[in-house]
Amino acid sequence: MKNGAVFYNVGRGVTVDQPALLAALRSGRLAAAYLDVTDPEPPPPDDPIWSVPNCWITPHAAGGHQDESERVVAHFLENLRRFEAGDPLLDRVSVE
């Protein structure tokens, strides 16, 4: 990552080398980090990641809604209906 970048992790805590992240934050190489996941989760109370002023840790709440499964299925079914009818799909991401 380039100097001054901001790092976000909403995926898996184990994919991040947390000691390296901590060093990059402390040195200023990274401007900030926003972590919705850590390893372990949550970090122990004495973990130094808690004391870094340019690191924010959220309670593993990225995404997820009470009715998320139903909404995902409804979205899929609507796009299936549109696909079968030859209509444009909802939320299509284009790489043009």
Q: Which of 12, 71, 75, 81 is an active site residue?
A: 12
Would you state the structure tokens that stand for residue 53, as one six-digit string? Answer: 């002023």
- Confirm whether 12 is a catalytic residue: yes
d(CA 84, CA 12): 35
- Confirm whether 70 is a catalytic residue: no
Q: Which of 26, 60, 78, 82 is an active site residue?
A: 60
- Confirm whether 96 is a catalytic residue: no
Q: Which of 26, 29, 41, 82 is an active site residue?
A: 41
Cβ–Cβ under 8 Å, residues 56 and 33: yes
Please identify every residue annotated as catalytic. 12, 41, 60
